[in-house]
Each structure stands twice: as C-alpha cells, then as structure tokens.
Amino acid sequence: MTESASQSRLVERILDRFLSEFGGTHPAGVFFAPGRVNLIGAHLDYNGGDVLPVTVDLGVYLAIRPRDDDRLCLRSVDQRDGIDARLGELGDSRRPEHGWGAYPFGVFRALAERLPRCGFDAVYGGDLPMASGMSSSAAIEVVTAYALDRLHGLGLGNRELALICHGAETRYVGVQCGIMDQFASALGRAGHALWLHCSDASFEYVEIHAGFDVLVLDTKKTRTLASGAFNQRVAECGEALAILRMHARSLPTLAAYGEADLAHAAPWLAGVHLKRARHVVSEMQRVARGVAALRVGDGPALGAALTSSHRSTAVDYEVSCAELDAITAAACAQPGVFGARLTGAGFGGCAIALIEPGSAERVIPPVRDDFARRFGVEPGFRVLAAGGGPRRVV
C-alpha cells in the first residue's frame, strides 16, 4: 500500500512539524493506522454480536521518537498547542485537560511496563474526518500501539495490540465501547470486510466482490454528546440482558437471544429495554443476511439490510439524528442506490450508501443539494477504497 499524493503531503507536514518542534534530523519512524466504516452490525459489538467493518484508506499518521526520560510530548498538525505530560501524571483515567491526548496516553499507560525507555516525542496528523463515525479515536490508539511495538521490538501481534487499545479506550478514556473499531483498524485487510464475532473476538475475512460501491456520506455534524449517550445505551442493554436472564433464559450476551425470548419476557421487557433488545436481536439477523449477500456481491440484498438497519437504529436504538435520517433518505431516493445507513455510533458523523458500481457522480449532486438546502451545510462524499491495516510508512 503506498500513499496517495495528498497523503504524502500530509506526511511531509507531519515531518516538518516534528523537526520544528523537537529538532534533530528525523523521527525514529512514521506509522499509519486506518479508520473504518461498519457495513452492518450497529451497536452489536458490546452486546456480544457480529459486526462487518471495512478498513478505509484514510487514517492517522504518527511521526515518533523515543525519549530517554519519562516525558510524553504530543503534537497535532491541526493544532498549535501541544499536550505534554510525564508518565507519573497520567493517572488511571483520562484527565480533561489532556483532550485528545487521552487516547495515546491510555495506550502508553497500558504498555509502559513493557517499555525499556519511557517517553516519546510525537506528531499526529490524519485525513480521516474526526469524531465522524469512522473510528478516528481507534486509529490514534492503534497507530500509537503499533509504533511503540515496532520501535521497542515488543513482538505483540496485531490482535493483541487491538485488545490493548480497546482496554485503553474502556478503562482509561472511559467509553464503554466494544472491540470493533480497534480490531478493524489493527486487522483490516485490503479488499475485504472483517466479519468479527464479538462474543469470542474471533473473525474471518469476507472478500468484497464487485457488484456495488460504498459511498461515504459525511453530514459534518460532530458528535458532541456521544460518549455520555453511548455509555447510556451500553447501560440500557445491560439492564435488558438482566431482565431477559430473569424472565426468559440465561444467556451470556444480549445478542445471543432470539425473538422468541423477547416474546417470552414480554410482560417484563418494556420501554427502552424492549426497544434496545429488539434492535440487537433483529440486527443480528440483518448481519447474517448482509454477510450472505456480501459473499456473492448481491448489492440489492445487502442494501436492503442496510436500510432496514438504519430504521432500527433510528427507531429502536435512538442514535440517529435529523441529519443522518435526511442524508440516508435522500440517498435511497436516487436510482441506483441499494440502501443506506448510519455508520459508527450515530448521533451525527457519517452514513454509508451502497450504490451501483461507478454511479457516485450521478448520485452525489441531488443528495448534496437536498442536504445543503435543509441544513445549510455541504456534506462530504467519498467512494470507499478498502485499505489494509497499520503499517510503517517511513
């Protein structure tokens, strides 16, 4: 995998900032980790279900050099001010003044005991829209873990790195997410989707056949309240699971239940608990249909699963918003669009549309005009190229 012209320019900017901030002649290495879109399987990972992410060819770059002391100096090409801390100042959970630095710091905390020398100088830069449902946070975590692993010869496999990054996000950053984003970023394979079984963290690759293109639709609405609302969904699912265990049968995760269990527990399962459980149980069926369709390149069948997933995510899981509903509806109204859904946590950010191969130029203008008229914002568009996992660039 080589960098595009714009990615090479980004790497140049990162290197320039590195040398002007930290001096010397060059960093010890420049690394990359990708973001992802999730084709289908919304909010199933932390419920022990199956998900189907695809790694994108966009992500986060990191120029890094170990230090001989315990100082951690973070810079971003998008921000003038840096974030500096010493290992001893990190604490056990994120500190508000560290901002986005919580992601690298969480990873560093998890790896610190294995590192021979301690601190590092680092400059980050990315071409992934931030906080948009394409896993920019996981890409920051994975590129940090991958770089530390390679520079210090820790010999950790990518699966182990993904688990370490997931631990950093849940324990240090404090978002009770599932394993999907870190696994997708660390284990993505070009031209394939990752069919990840979150009940036991096993996975298989499913080749993406021609038959459709994936168009990413960026509403540009940032998800400001995401982590609070996200953790609330996790808690509600935990409560629904407890009700089902008591009144249906005892299974390990919410995704393991079926429609008959929900019917059995009907007198006790109501309100948000019923809605969340109904989404999880029905989404598992849609993932199964989606994987079968993906295997044979059946765009219309996969698209129908996507659209039905969006409806369930909006109505029963309540993580959509006006912008995501409008952009997916506008896309689905175009000829040659098989289906569309929000991707990522929801509450804003990106959606995806499954479209006839080569039809993006035709689909984009009416969707853009409709969205701009309603919200006064021009959305972003990009045809997905399924890139590979993390790598060393320089």
168 vs 165: CA distance, rounded Å: 5
Q: Does 390 bind ligand GLA (CB under 6 A)?
A: no
Report the nearest approach of ligand GLA to the CB of residue 108 (Å). Answer: 20
Q: Does 178 bind ligand GLA (CB under 6 A)?
A: yes
Three-state DSSP class for residue 255: helix
Return the H-helix or E-strand segment holding 196. Answer: strand 192-197
Report the nearest approach of ligand GLA to the CB of residue 47 (Å). Answer: 9
Report the residue number, 47 or 334, with the smaller CB distance to ligand GLA. 47
Dihedral (CA of 166, 169, 170, 171) sign: positive
Three-state DSSP class for residue 182: helix
Q: Of the listed 181, 218, 261, 298, which one is catalytic?
A: 181
Per CB under 6 A, the segment of 36-44, 81-89, 147-155, 352-360 that binds ligand GLA is: 36-44
Report the nearest approach of ligand GLA to the CB of residue 192 (Å). Answer: 19
In the shown chain, the binding pattern of residues 107 to 146 toward ligand GLA, with x for contact by CB under 6 A and - for none, equals ----------------------------------------
Per CB under 6 A, the segment of 83-91, 93-101, 174-182, 370-378 that binds ligand GLA is: 174-182
Give backbone dihedrals phi and psi of 67, rounded to 5 degrees, phi first: -110, 165
Which residue in this structure is represented by tokens 């990615």? Answer: 7
Q: Does 213 bind ligand GLA (CB under 6 A)?
A: no
Report the nearest approach of ligand GLA to the CB of residue 27 (Å). Answer: 29
Report the nearest approach of ligand GLA to the CB of residue 83 (Å). Answer: 22
Report the nearest approach of ligand GLA to the CB of residue 319 (Å). Answer: 8
What letter does residue 250 receive in the DSSP assignment? -
Report the residue number, 72 or 180, with the smaller CB distance to ligand GLA. 180
Maximum distance among all alpha carbons in the chain?
Answer: 69
Q: Which two tokens stand for residue 253?
A: 């995760």
Report the site for ligand GLA in 302-331 (rule: CB under 6 A): none
The correct pick among 101, 119, 188, 344 for binding ligand GLA (CB under 6 A) is 344
Q: Does 45 bind ligand GLA (CB under 6 A)?
A: yes
Q: Which residues on neighbouring strands pair with residue 120, listed in sequence order? A: 66, 72
Three-state DSSP class for residue 154: coil
Distances (CA, A) of 288 to 10, 60, 81: 39, 31, 46
Report the residue number, 38 or 308, with the smaller CB distance to ligand GLA. 38
DSSP string for residues in 298-347: -HHHHHHHHHHHHHHHHHTS----HHHHHHHHHHHTSTTEEEEEE-TT-S
DSSP string for residues in 27-53: -SEEEEEEEEEESS-TT-GGGT-EE-E
What letter does residue 100 receive in the DSSP assignment? G
For residue 147, give the nearest of 20, 60, 79, 218 by alpha carbon.
60
Q: Does 196 bind ligand GLA (CB under 6 A)?
A: no
Number of residues forming the site for ligand GLA (CB under 6 A): 11
Report the nearest approach of ligand GLA to the CB of residue 96 (Å). Answer: 20
Q: Does 183 bind ligand GLA (CB under 6 A)?
A: no
Q: Does 283 bind ligand GLA (CB under 6 A)?
A: no
Q: Does 42 bind ligand GLA (CB under 6 A)?
A: yes
The correct pick among 46, 146, 172, 212 for binding ligand GLA (CB under 6 A) is 46
Q: Does 66 bind ligand GLA (CB under 6 A)?
A: no
235 vs 28: CA distance, rounded Å: 42
For this structure, is 181 an active site residue?
A: yes
Contact (Cβ atoms closer than 8 angstroms) between residue 282 and residue 312:
yes
What letter does residue 296 receive in the DSSP assignment? T
Per CB under 6 A, the segment of 22-30, 40-48, 155-163, 184-192 that binds ligand GLA is: 40-48
Q: Does 221 bind ligand GLA (CB under 6 A)?
A: no
32 vs 62: CA distance, rounded Å: 6
* Active-site annotation, residues: 181
Which residues are near ligand GLA by CB under 6 A? Answer: 38, 42-43, 45-46, 177-178, 180-181, 344-345
